[in-house]
Amino acid sequence: RAQQGVYKSQVSAEYSAVSAVIQQYIPSVNCGTVDPATNLADFQSALKAAGIDTVIEENQKQLDDWAASQAAE
């Protein structure tokens, strides 16, 4: 049986950096202690700098590979 979930080893550095950014920003956003009008742009910039696009691309690649393997069965 194949392992479920996303294999993070290909993007482990980016995944760790993105997780750190999320941990930094989400508590204040969730509590409403910051102005989303200004802090959302900072959050998005920090995610980009941490490598969120690379993580998303790898997740999509793995999903596409999985979908192709399901179609072949």
- What does the pLDDT look like over 23-52, one tens digit per residue? 999 999 888 898 888 888 999 999 999 999
Which of 39, 5, 46, 38 is closest to 22 using CA atoms?
46
Distance (Å) of CA 58 to CA 8, 19, 64, 73: 9, 15, 10, 23
Distance from C-alpha of 41 to C-alpha of 26, rounded to nearest angstrom: 13
Mean pLDDT of the chain: 88
44 DSSP 8-state letter: H
Helices (H) and strands (E) in the chain — how many of each? 3, 0
pTM metric for this prediction:
0.81
Q: What is the largest CA-CA distance in the chain?
A: 50
